Amino acid sequence: AQTVTQSQPEMSVQEAETVTLSCTYDTSESNYYLFWYKQPPSRQMILVIRQEAYKQQNATENRFSVNFQKAAKSFSLKISDSQLGDTAMYFCAFFHQGGSEKLVFGKGMKLTVNP
Amino acid sequence: DSGVTQTPKHLITATGQRVTLRCSPRSGDLSVYWYQQSLDQGLQFLIHYYNGEERAKGNILERFSAQQFPDLHSELNLSSLELGDSALYFCASSNPGGIRTDTQYFGPGTRLTVL
């Protein structure tokens, strides 16, 4: 069974600074995808970024980028130029294509961006 | 806005009662997933339907059931409700066979409170 671990329960950062959220996972599968979802106080689950495991290139979406280390099973999210609207819970998630096709989530990390 | 809709937004009911949560997937999406988010269990996969057929079950109690209708909307039925069933219930959809078949888009959730 796959597991996803987010070891930092909470972090804070100053507006305009850069912050990195860590995530590790465990799997024996080779065909999988990794995601970061954001859950602001509204409780909506919002897709932030997606990484295909077979791609070595790290995904980037505007101010959000990942550092995907497949051998180390590590998938960290970097947020550049942090904004107040980035304050949210962030969840790392694993998806195995061709398996149960469910998302396996980490426990989440609360990020606070301070003015 | 993800394009996934869920009703109702909030539901307050008593122990022992039965409720139905409704989800409409994004236009064209064939897969619907249900997840439960509670404080102690985090985000847990409940069940996955694809084009009307059940594809996978997760940690879904026997008191819970779901179905997906020909128009692809889905309903999650929760019966004999207990205090511990209080949680945020999310529906997500994806489009197997389309672009990014692995990516799930979440609805706004239904907040269930059992008193």
pLDDT, tens only, A53-88:
998 899 999 999 999 999 999 999 999 999 999 999
Predicted confidence (pLDDT) per residue in A38-55, tens digit? 999 999 999 999 999 998
Question: Which one-letter DSSP state was computed for residue A43?
Answer: -
Least confident interval from A34-38, A96-100, B110-114 = A96-100
Q: Which residues in A lie closer than 8 A to residue B100 (C-beta atoms)?
A: 50
Res A16 pLDDT > 90 = yes
Contact A44, A91 (CB under 8 A): no
Q: Which two tokens stand for residue A74?
A: 């590590």
Mean pLDDT within A87-111: 91
Q: Residue A99: its pLDDT value, please? A: 66
Sheet architecture: strand order including B74-78: B5-7, B19-24, B74-78, B64-68
Q: Rounded to whole angstroms, how far apart are CA atoms A5 and B6?
A: 29
| B93 reaches A (C-beta below 8 A) | no
Q: Which residues of chain B have pLDDT under 70?
A: 96-101
Secondary structure in 3-state letters for chain B: CCCCEEECCEEEECCCCCEEEEEECCCCCCEEEEEEEECCCEEEEEEEEECCEEEEECCCCCCEEEEECCCCCEEEEECCCCHHHCEEEEEEEECCCCCCCCCCEECCCEEEEEC
DSSP A102: -
Partner A contacted by B6 (CB < 8 A): no
What pLDDT sits at residue A44?
94
Q: Residue B37 class from Cβ within 10 Å (0-12 exposed, 13-18 middle, 19+ buried)?
A: buried
* A90 lies within 8 A of chain B by CB: no
Percent of chain B with pLDDT over 90: 84
Burial class (CB in 10 A: 0-12, 13-18, 19+), A111: buried
| Mutation to test the B interface, candidates A31, A38, A90, A103, most B Cβ within 10 Å | A103
